[in-house]
Structure 1
């Protein structure tokens, strides 16, 4: 985190040196940018807590206003459609249109025309963290409450609350399916896997190495916002965060964070925590996809992402250095067992079984592999190409600051698998797309596929059965 500035003192200094004709002095200028966070904190913890608690209401109101400006946040589930364990799936396009333009018109315009008319929906711009200059791990309230009940461990932040309404995030607890025991179905038994119940739930299902890997995945370790130092965002010194807090039940609760590998702060991307389902078939990990195995990701996540990519701060707050040959490999082996949810309408090649699919789903599949160009990146059976693509979304809008996030080029982003996609809202790497309908409209504009209204509906119908 950046050390808090003292704007009032600085303004008084500027007034004084200006009055003396010394306004060109280097002392009046902002400090030079740094890749490092401050190690020595000059405020007491109580002063930091009091100041940030006092600012919290205004910070959250400002971000809430942005969300309401960008989206229709109402609870409008699709009739008869649920996630695997029964949570309703939200439907409809939720990104708000600019005044004087329709989705059909946007789909026919060139990037230059959209940019010139400032017609790109603001809900399709990069989504900032609820407090982007501050950042950090942030969990939904329902998850915080459950972990407090189960472990007496509190992931509440005194400075921020989670931002997206509960109906736009995955079901909780999420089901767990294992590649090694598909006959068991959901092995979570409707519970949040944690340090108190992991052995009871998985003893006799996993081998000893996998069980040890799971133990480590549910063990909390110090993290940037949750630790024992004065530079934390929890009221009490914290045991920290576990891997399966963000990736709850090996899936996701839509907990958010900022990538640790971009500077300065305003260029850092928000992260919508991805599911761990299907990591066994993936080959790129980390926010910049520099890690080539789930073991690499597991080891360096706690060295880097846990501390915003700052090894100096990691040393101060309690870095957890895992043993590669024993601990890391065991953790990776368990993660590789996490399977996608069942998709009863797909055959062994990941394509629709004609005997089970509706006519609309069949039309959607034809569009997916044809006019909509989805299969150019998302190929069956898991609907990924295990690489990255630069969508160049910046073609459609002028660079701009959005609540502390400088919206410009995203750069290359990973092709995530689409299997089980209806269980994993919101969408895109930063969660800016709240529904599958939003995703179809976004890619119709960005890829310029010129889909008709009925074609968009058919494509969504196909995505829901993957």
Structure 2
């Protein structure tokens, strides 16, 4: 498939049709607006019938994009698993442009790569499965388990999740608490929900934390899942919970579009980050730079749930949390979520000689030396709690990819690398499927000049974190 075919797509007009294409009268193209259409003029049954009819074509279009970008085979790295045993996928999965190799590409300047259109497609921003529509979208295994536990169906009649399960985090993930490390995984192998949170955590949490957890597993209305006629569920819906995406305080790789960018085509796909280790973080949200986990919690429910549109939130039934108690309680529980154990690290976050392999030790030396990863990802938690702009736009011309206008990403927060092998896919929008892809991406974008052996050593070290 040609690069033109991979990046084909019609640029979306700056209209009222922000996430509800065809379901309301659009404003003239010369009158951009920040708001979603509030009054739905198309009958719900007609919307549902039309979107169900379009669904197979949308899925096929997204699959063609993924197949052109990546090797999607199920090929685990030998002997490497996540905390509960799910195999970790290995190898570079991003496909190179024809006639190139990673070494040659690494020696080229950003200007040459841009001029010759050689930036790998898998390093470009990843669009939502239907970028013009957007919205929360869950892997099927999460939909099935939530429906089994609560009879609350998160199926969308218009879209299905796109990335294969073997590239996603283990589910349900284990839960480790900073206050009770002696207990190990306190989830007992279960997905925490409104049905079981009390029996699992009564006697482990204090009453404030227990109430915070209750709120985190309580469904509240959301843009796509709500009781109005402007929804993407077949029937009027209770809504979603915080832990529907941040499953067991971790992540199930549910995707969405960020709520704080307009117009629709410029909005970034969002890969749900883990909540593990929020107690050591000072910034929240991949780009929002929210300063506390309480800010993040309140922002999510008041605005992000509704694509950043407070008018739409009012229409669909926003749940306004009380800051002094409810938000505080939710934040207090989230601050207890710990990183998974890393037995090869000492108390300073460095490898213990005699327990780490020679390859892992070489990778650690590279991390702090030639690769210069530690400049942003400093131990023991492997973050600097800052934001950095990689300026990937140096490498490619602005272009539309399946409705996503690919241009500057802007500043992105430094996510902690502790427990990183448990949290695929990578980067803020999930465009990198493996740690091998991630090392290749940063080697090229930051022009580190690593050899193939050095990149393999670096990946080995990252898996110890």
TM over 0.5: yes
2:266 maps to which residue? 267
Q: CA deviation at 1:3?
A: 4.2
1:126 maps to which residue? 125
1:195 maps to which residue? 194
1:326 maps to which residue? 325
Equivalent pairs counted in the alignment come to 448
Q: CA deviation at 1:2?
A: 4.1
Distance 2:442 2:244 in 1: 31
Query: Does 2:116 match 1:99?
Result: no
1:14 maps to which residue? none
Distance 2:79 2:346 in 1: 23
Does the Cα contact within 8 Å between 2:250 and 2:274 map onto a contact in 1?
yes
Distance 1:131 1:436 in 2: 26
1:404 maps to which residue? 403
Moved over 6 A (4+): none
2:296 maps to which residue? 297
2:419 maps to which residue? 420
* Alignment gaps of 5+ in structure 2: 1-17
TM-score under structure 2 length normalisation: 0.95
1:17 maps to which residue? none
Task: Give RMSD over aligned pairs.
Answer: 1.4
2:79 maps to which residue? 80
Distance 1:79 1:5 in 2: 48
Distance 1:158 1:2 in 2: 15
1:45 maps to which residue? 44
Distance 2:130 2:462 in 1: 33
Q: CA deviation at 1:288?
A: 2.6
Does the Cα contact within 8 Å between 2:69 and 2:94 map onto a contact in 1?
yes
2:61 maps to which residue? 62
Q: CA deviation at 1:32?
A: 1.6
* Alignment gaps of 5+ in structure 1: 11-26
Distance 1:314 1:277 in 2: 28
Question: What whole-Å deviation, never above 9, does each CA across 1:47-69 have from its counterpart, x for those lacking one?
Answer: 11001000000011000100000
Distance 1:414 1:106 in 2: 27
Question: What whole-Å deviation, never above 9, does each CA across 1:344-370 have from its counterpart, x for those lacking one?
Answer: 000000000012111000000000000
Question: Secondary structure of 2:68's partner?
Answer: helix
Does the Cα contact within 8 Å between 2:297 and 2:330 map onto a contact in 1?
yes
Distance 1:459 1:310 in 2: 42
Question: What whole-Å deviation, never above 9, does each CA across 1:325-380 have from its counterpart, x for those lacking one?
Answer: 11010000000000000000000000000121110000000000000010010000
Distance 2:447 2:286 in 1: 27
Question: Secondary structure of 1:458's partner?
Answer: helix
Distance 2:193 2:457 in 1: 40
Distance 2:252 2:359 in 1: 30
1:109 maps to which residue? 108
Change (3 A) 1:359 1:290: closer
Does the Cα contact within 8 Å between 2:289 and 2:413 map onto a contact in 1?
no
Query: Does 2:21 match 1:4?
Result: yes
Q: CA deviation at 1:6?
A: 8.9
Q: CA deviation at 1:387?
A: 0.4
Q: CA deviation at 1:116?
A: 1.1
Does the Cα contact within 8 Å between 1:259 and 1:287 map onto a contact in 2?
no
Instruction: Say which one has the larger Rg.
Output: 1
1:457 maps to which residue? 456
Question: Secondary structure of 1:331's partner?
Answer: helix
Question: Secondary structure of 2:347's partner?
Answer: coil
TM-score under structure 1 length normalisation: 0.95
1:207 maps to which residue? 206
Question: Secondary structure of 1:171's partner?
Answer: coil
Q: CA deviation at 1:4?
A: 3.1
Q: CA deviation at 1:275?
A: 0.1
Counting only pairs closer than 5 Å after superposition, residues 9-408 of structure 1 correspond to structure 2 as 30=29, 32-408=31-407
Distance 1:146 1:32 in 2: 44
1:13 maps to which residue? none
Distance 1:78 1:340 in 2: 22
Question: Secondary structure of 2:50's partner?
Answer: helix
Question: Secondary structure of 1:149's partner?
Answer: helix
Question: Secondary structure of 1:290's partner?
Answer: coil
Does the Cα contact within 8 Å between 1:261 and 1:288 map onto a contact in 2?
no
Distance 1:4 1:422 in 2: 37
Distance 2:75 2:286 in 1: 32
